[in-house]
Structure 1
Amino acid sequence: MTLTEPAPSAKADYAAFSDTDRKGLDAVIAELAVGEKAWSKLSLADRAALLGRVHAAVADAAKDWAETASEIKGLDPRSQAVGEEWISGPYPVLTGAGMLAHTVQALVQKKSPLAGVKFGTAPGRRVTVPVLPYSAHEAILLHGFSAEVWMPPGIGASTVLSHAGLAEHRPSLTQGIGLVLGAGNITSIPPLDVLYELVANNRVVLLKLNPVMAKMGSVYSRALAPLIAANVLRIVQGGAEAGSYLAHHPSISHVHITGSAATHDVVVYGPGQEGRERKAARTPLLDKPITSELGGVAPIIIVPGNWTKNDLRYQAEHVATMRLHNGGYNCIAGQIVLLSSDWKQKKQFLDELRSALERTPPRTAWYPGSDDRVAQAHEAYPNAERHGDSGGRLLIDIEAGDDASAIQTTEYFSPVLGVIELPGTGKKFLDAAVATANDELLGTLGANIIAGPKDIKSMRNGFREAIANLHYGTIGVNAWTGVGFLTAAAPWGAFPGHTLDDAQSGRGFVHNALLISEPERTVVKGPFRPFPRSFAHGEFALFPKPPWFVTSRSAQSTGRLLSGFAAKPGWLRMPAVFGAAFRA
């Protein structure tokens, strides 16, 4: 059976449909109920083909996608920041759709998606699964970067191998209609969540856009047109009222939300004082399962070492990128730098960090409420330094005796960066920083560690043991955790174990295009230095300054070419990508 034609009642542009019209929303849900029956009968081969058509449709919409996202965020079309909208927009959806198609095709052939993968081990009786590089193309394009998925302790390799594929092992057993409450900051998040619901969880999907992303409706309708035509996806607009109605609709079987913990709690427990009382009593208003990605306060652990002047400047730009990418409106934006008070180069690094915050090109404070959150942070820390042309970037140096609780427990979701000093060097400092990140900071979505290769080597197994003790869903070692977000095969979500009444950074994973069952975390590694300095210092890494750095001088062309490569991979297209990247 194939699904290629829209239902007779289907609209040409679903994103333009409805706001709080309950009859209209009911009609959309009814269409999806019909689509679920057809989806249950669709063969794996036809599902793989459908994902291939999605890949082609995303490629066709990519230019409009990046331009519309840039318009929403107030970017000058000539700005290098437009590159962010290519790299965090169509690019990961192209790679995600392509790898999901590959995964389903493997199941068609009665193979595990992980067949041929060489498993490894990690401390605590953990099996690891390498997911980057996954192809020869990735090995060249992202030379020097790697990622592995760590499984929970005691899960054997044979179990990981046989369970990969999730709900696609039993495609006829569909799981109803899933509601995706879309993110309002990164444009790839809603489509990636849709694909995961559909394939990994075998649910047809109703996507409600965040009002901030209303203009993306027509782009999503075009990019996901094959799913809409197959009646397995509908896209609607609307605010909080529409979202609440849909979340509690009896025909919706599951809810997935990307947003804030406060919004999550309103969905689960209801608004206002009554909602807070329900949460305190642990009596949720929502009567169905919910998964979530809710952000948090991400740490950036700087392991002290003997760095060159170029190292200090480069890693300061790295930290600035973790905070200022997308204007600071990322769930995984680094918010707390954990620095050694005993590091001899501490002052030099902080001076370079101030300089990086100053020279990063200015951005419009485009996300609603940003100025208020910056003001809130400044009120809590009156001595905060203002940086940037408008002074809208805050650097808060927490000194001995200062109350760090506000910046440790508030996700400011704005260009606010804090510095907290801890004593010690080497493994002693790293262990103290890991304990602080685990015990003092809100959330467990992503943690970053920056350390020189010699310092990592000197700790021997102790460094890997420290990673095992760091309870975050994605850990970046000399690579921003955003690389994990962009890696199609890497699961993305909070560290497992949060409860409904204390969701922290959320529950469940998305992306995960190899459909690995019940992962624990992803560990991403990158080169400490860019090429050619990496070679000069003994690192075998060909990757130049990353195009996602906020100081990149060629981000726009690199992002466009990288997305073009993901749309149509080929060795002959690779030199142009490298040519742009090396101009960063």
Structure 2
Amino acid sequence: MTINTQHGSPQFPSPSSTIASSSREIMDASIQTLVEQKENWIHTPVATRIAIVDALIADFSALAPRWVAASLEAKGLEEDSPYAGDEWVAGTWTLLHSLRQLRQALVDIQKDGHPHIPGPVRTRPDGQVTAQVFPFRSYDRVLFPGIRAEVWMQPGVTAETLASTQAINYQSQTSEGKVALVLGAGNVASIGPMDVLYKLFTDNQVVLFKANPVNAYLGPLLEESFRSLIQPGYLRIVYGGATEGSYLCQHPDIDEIHITGSDKTFDAIVFGPGAEGAARKAARQPLVTKRVTGELGNVSPVIVVPGPWTEQDLAYQAEHIASMLANNAGYNCNATRVIIQQKSWSQRQALLQQIRDVLSHLSTRTAYYPGARERYQAFLDAHPEAEQFGTSNPQHLPWTLIADVDSTNADDICFTTEAFCSLFSETALEATSVVEYIERAVQFANEQLWGTLNITLLVHPGSLKDPAIAAAVDKAVAQLRYGSIGINYWAGTSFVLGSTTWGAFPGHEIYDIQSGNDVVHNSLMFSQPQKSVLYAPFRSKPAPPWFTNQSRISRKLFKQMVQFETAPSWWKIPAIIKTALSG
């Protein structure tokens, strides 16, 4: 088996599926139904759409336990596994949470023509407009204490014109109906359904969803829970691999394509596979000329800003960094891949040692994603000094740290290639001051690491008391070319908040797509976002439930959170808080 690992996301081998591929007759019939209903969808009243969302919430809530059980079985996890919480939070709660936000956005559109922004809108000194989008509702201030998030708009958007850039497909009914093909991702159970919702409710397009063979087992459950969209002909679900995907991408009645996955798959769609596709790309002659959007991979960095860290701080942030990798066994496009430190920081090695301690106590997981072992081996071949923690056998890969990667080696696999497995690296930059280091770290992340999806900065509040460092951090946030930025909070949580955007920093053309060319989630339906920025305390209390040392409570907590989103009520909050504090 040949695995293309150099530069970008992996080219995944073709996986097998437990669901038979759809025939061309079935695919054609599905598309024909969508063609017949695409004009009806764009004229569907907002009140009817709200009723559809209500049905989606009720139907998905009812089968959420079955959804989680199917995911656990496929990933080789028992119901009481310390990692079972991953499937409750990213697989079910995230979807229900986003549906709740979508419903509120539609209510606002029905009343005022655009979603209401829940927090202040500000104009920065450079003229860039930011809108606080989280907390989205009063419940969130209690459920996510200390967490807030902003969406920064592209230059040119003003505070006065911001509302006119929201829900633009609801402001005019002059557009023609379209059929969108959504190619599902195989790693996180909520990705496909949320992409479907975005194309339907924000882009106003009916959807043909092709399940990814890796998690096609969820397809029948999706058909059951999304029946309020399927019955009137606004959604169809089909199955298959690359052959079926190629047929659908080139189908004349498919108007647009959206993929969450690898830049290699994106290129194969747009230019065709193999040498012929590479030649078309080089000649700038795409095979598919319809609009193709993607949310793709990233070599996700964590910038560690030196400061007066205590032993407790080191332990907390080591758990934080390791948890960014361990979530979903590292099969996430937002997993930690490169830890960036200042070479002269006196606590650099202490932080690394704390990370080693965390990894050494983590049980390993089934390497369920196709090609994982081959990708892993490519990194070990390049870095035989890699440190491995835990079990390594035909089913499991160890947690792995590659420390002290030479930051001047621009072609190092750790910087150019998304591992998409249980492995990350650390590098250090020379700098004579913290301010200089921050500037160099921003340049390194922007210019040397592949992708623009998400980045996390860890900065101690004591450091921010220095006006020069505070200014450098603010400048860094403005200059970082990433779609999501987390300050003291994993930027990957932008994926689950819903009101934040999720996708690459804008500007990638199809000839150098990197992390993609559009956003999803974005429940306030901004049409010109640039990035999302999350802010959190340096040490959240209680610790986030996705931390590995909170695994004892995360499964129970997110079951409660799922029940909460089914029918939100202040009466349910005390039990949730009690569970969160019991860890």
State the match for 2:11 in structure 1: none
Q: Describe the SS at the equivalent of 1:428.
A: helix
SS of the residue 2:133 aligns to: strand
Shift of 1:109: 1.4
What SS does the aligned partner of 1:507 have? coil
Alignment of 1:124-523 (within 5 A): 124-171=126-173, 173-390=175-392, 392-400=398-406, 403=409, 405-424=412-431, 425-458=433-466, 459-523=469-533
Q: RMSD of the alignment, in Å?
A: 1.7
1:107: Cα distance to partner? Answer: 1.5
CA contact (8 A) 2:259 2:293 kept: yes
Query: Cα gap change, 1:179/1:515 in structure 2, threshold over 3 Å: closer, same or farther?
Result: same
How far residue 40 of structure 1 moved from its aligned partner, in angstroms, is: 3.0
Q: Is the 8 A contact 1:194 1:205 kept in 2?
A: yes
Give the stretch that moved more between structures: 328-337 or 360-369: 360-369
Unaligned runs of 5+ in 2: 1-16
Cα offset, 1:124, TM superposition: 2.8
Letter in 1 for 2:142: I
Residue 8 of structure 1 is matched in structure 2 by none
1:88 partner SS: helix
CA distance in 2, matches of 1:399, 1:59: 46
Is this contact kept in 2: 1:337–1:418, CA < 8 A? yes
**Separation of aligned partners in 1, 2:114 and 2:408:** 53
Is the 1:122–1:150 Cα contact (8 Å) retained in structure 2?
A: no
SS of residue in 2 equivalent to 1:554: helix
What letter matches 2:505 in structure 1?
Answer: F
| SS of equivalent to 1:565 | helix
CA distance in 1, matches of 2:18, 2:424: 38
| Inter-partner Cα distance in structure 2 for 1:347 and 1:77 | 37
* Aligned-residue identity in percent: 38
Q: Deviations over 1:199-253 (max 9, x none)?
A: 1111000000100011111221122111111210011110100011011100000
Take 1:247 and 1:175, find their aligned partners in 2: how far apart are those partners?
18
Shift of 1:173: 3.1
If the length of structure 2 is used for normalisation, what is the TM-score?
Answer: 0.93
Aligned partner letter, 1:94:
L
User: SS in structure 1 opposite 2:52?
Assistant: helix
Other structure's SS at 2:525 match: coil
How many angstroms apart in 2 are the aligned matches of 1:71 and 1:47?
A: 34
Q: Distance in 2 between matches of 1:491 and 1:286?
A: 27
Alpha-carbon offset, residue 140 of structure 1: 0.8
Partners of 2:33 and 2:189 in 1: how far apart?
A: 26
How far did residue 389 of structure 1 move? 2.8
Alignment of structure 1 residues 45-194 onto 2, 5 Å: 45-114=47-116, 117-122=119-124, 124-171=126-173, 173-194=175-196
Distance 1:123 1:495 in 2: 21
CA contact (8 A) 2:117 2:524 kept: no
> 1-side partners of 2:137 and 2:176: how far apart?
31
The question of whether the paired residues in 2 share the 8 Å contact of 1:18 and 1:236 is answered with no
CA contact (8 A) 2:135 2:147 kept: yes
Q: Structure 1 residue 361: deviation in Å?
A: 2.6
2:8 matched residue in structure 1: none
Is the 1:297–1:336 contact (alpha carbons within 8 Å) kept by the matching residues of 2? yes
Distance 1:99 1:505, change over 3 A: same
Change (3 A) 1:431 1:62: same
Instruction: Please report how far the alpha carbon of residue 175 of structure 1 lies from its aligned counterpart in structure 2 after TM superposition.
Output: 3.4
Answer whether contact 1:104 1:168 (CA < 8 A) is retained: no
C-alpha distance in 1 between matches for 2:231 and 2:302: 44
| Secondary structure of 1:284 counterpart | coil
Structure 1 distance, partners of 2:226, 2:18, is 14
Question: Residue 37 of structure 1: CA displacement?
Answer: 3.0
Residues 401-440 of structure 1: CA deviation (Å, up to 9, x unaligned): 8846211001110111110001234221111111000000
Alignment partners' CA distance in 1, 2:103 and 2:373: 42
Q: Could you tell me the TM-score, scaled by structure 1's length? A: 0.93
The alignment of Structure 1 onto Structure 2 pairs a total of residues equal to 558
Q: Which moved more, 1:414-423 or 1:398-407?
A: 398-407
Question: Is this contact kept in 2: 1:175–1:201, CA < 8 A?
Answer: no
